[in-house]
Amino acid sequence: MSLFDKFQPLIDIRAELEQAGVMPFGAVTEKILSPTEAIVDGQRVILAGTNNYLGLTFEPECLEAAQRALAEQGTGTTGSRMANGTFAGHLALEQELAAFFGKQHCIVFSTGYAATMGLASTLAGPGDVIVLDADSHASLYDGVRLSGAEIVRFRHNDAADLDKRLRRLGERSANTLIIVEGIYSMLGDQAPLADIVEVKKRRGGLLLVDEAHSLGMLGEHGRGVAEAAGVEDEVDFIVGTFSKSLGAIGGYCVSDHAELEAIRFAIRSYIFTASPSPSVIASTRVALRLMQERPQLRRRLWDNAQRLYDGLKSLGFKVSPQVSPVVAVTIEDRDWAIACWSRLLQRGAYVNLVMPPASPTTDSLLRCSVSAAHTPAQIDRILEAFASLGAGDKQAVK
């Protein structure tokens, strides 16, 4: 037996892809041309899989703020938030995020993964119970496994199943952490948050919502699914990332619970990693302001999402259950999904190929994410690339 034996299935898949001349995982972006176009593996493509939802990665004000911070404060902090890594910008961003969400407290993390994993691993512990949606992100699963708490999964987006599992816990349900996402990253479907909050109010517990893929998209002010559902006051912790709508990297948690300020000193992903670079904090602060000042970005994003969703559906593809800036096409046959991804790249459309176990089912996905920066003509070019595949016709991509 070898330590490497468990990786043999991955080794076999990689060898198979290399032999076919297709490398969909970690495809190399050689040159960024704009928020929506790049050279990927030698092909000029429209970027339809970047999560750059508001298209702010090349926003001049964000670039200027980042460049100024880079010149004035250097390339990095070289320390954790608890050592030398808390700069004035970190505190300012925490205050601005708290104000944006209408919450009293905020923690800024180095990545979105650190935020979600850190809260999930720290809020509950041995003797406690965590009940989470079965389709939760890997970072949440990693966190709850580290917590030492009892883990209970409920059926995806099924508030009745959540209620049943909390009811079975009896008095323990009052001391339970419930975890859901706002928009789920693979299929783009939304949590029935109003129904979930009703269950929480009836059974007890604390509710954590990951708004990573819904920040800037939903609600009157763009605060996410909780705002859109009118239940923000019932959500105990909101976590998310800067790497989607805000076009940077980092993560956050906001809450009205005063205990969060003490909890931060127990979160290992906060304590034991270097803090975000000043340039990242500076661009994120500007992006947060622009997101609030430009609601037209949100409207343009949803117009593009509707256009792509309707177009793919009319072509006969099996698409996500509801319209969102994440639009996924389900492909049952793995080899066909790989061939489709390669054909799309050749036809000028870069999308994400998602295969089990990363996909929520045994099927593969061609996952698209739409940006406010896409033009209608670019959406149509993405649709033309999909049309070349033939919905359901494997021969079309051989």
253 touches 121 (CB < 8 A): no
Provide the Cα torsion 304, 310, 314, 318; round to 10°: 100
State how beta strands 352-354 and 364-369 pair.
antiparallel
Sign of CA dihedral 273, 278, 283, 284: positive
**Nearest Cα to Cα of residue 54 among 284, 351, 350:** 284
At 251, which helix (H) or strand (E)? strand 251-255
Cα distance between residue 379 and residue 369, in whole Å: 11
**Per annotation, catalytic residue among 110, 244, 269, 359:** 244
Q: How many CB atoms lie within 10 A of CB 377?
A: 8
Cα distance between residue 347 and residue 386, in whole Å: 9
**Nearest Cα to Cα of residue 289 among 62, 64, 102:** 62
Helix (DSSP H) and strand (DSSP E) numbers for the chain: 14, 14
DSSP H stretches of helix in the chain:
8-20, 60-73, 88-101, 112-122, 138-147, 159-169, 193-203, 225-229, 260-263, 268-271, 278-293, 295-314, 334-346, 376-387
DSSP tag of 213: T
- The label of the residue with tokens 């604390």 reads 206
Q: Which residues, 6+ apart, have CB-to-CB distance to 134 below 8 Å?
A: 153, 154, 155, 156
374 assigned to active site: no
Name the burial class of residue 11, with classes exposed (0-12), middle (13-18) and buried (19+) by CB atoms within 10 angstroms of its CB: exposed
**Per annotation, catalytic residue among 90, 105, 137, 213:** 213
221 assigned to active site: no
185 assigned to active site: yes
Cα distance between residue 271 and residue 269, in whole Å: 6
Q: Catalogue the active-site residues.
A: 185, 213, 244
